[in-house]
Amino acid sequence: MLGYVSVHSMRCQSLLHMAMFRYKKDAAMKYSRILNDHFKSSSRSTQLHSPCAAKSTGMTYAGSYSGNSIGSSVTVPYNIPNITSACISITSYILYACDIWEKANALARKNTEIFAELSTATCALALNSSMTEEVRYARQGLQWLRREASTP
């Protein structure tokens, strides 16, 4: 019984992380395009951005970042670190979801019978299952657990 509750709790957490990722996916895609464009243009460019160039393009720059090469530096727009942080934050939802899901599956393998029966009675849960499917699955499992607990 404890195994079911643990697995169910972990799967629920995974599905919530996936829901958060899906909710913010469009922003992550936008940020990813911005970062890809930035890094493509900065790798093609051999010239250093100057404050004068920044004024002409309307970009605000954070200053210089010294690389490993002697005498080289790259000027980074202020928004790039913020966009990078936001992109990492959003994509971490999917990473956590996958990690927790894998751990839940490892626990479920120790108690396959109840999960196979639940999947047959409701639907097989997957990382892309809806919260409605999760609720149906949980209700059925809890109903069975209550019945089992009340049986002498």
pLDDT in tens, 30-83: 999 999 999 888 776 644 444 544 444 445 445 444 444 455 556 666 699 999
The 3-state DSSP class for residue 61 equals strand
Q: State in Å, rounded, how far the first CA of the chain is from the last one.
A: 16
Neighbours of 46 (CB within 10 A): 5
How many distinct structural domains can be found in the chain?
Answer: 1
For residue 6, what are its two tokens? 């643990």
Which residue in 80, 76, 4, 71 sits closest to 36, CA to CA? 80
Q: With a cut of 50, say whether residue 120 has pLDDT above it.
A: yes
The parent domain of residue 87 ranges over 2-150
- pTM for the full predicted model: 0.70
For residue 145, what are its two tokens? 């657990």
DSSP symbols for 74-121: EEEETHHHHHHHHHHHHHHHHHHHHHHHHHHHHHHGGGHHHHHHHHHH
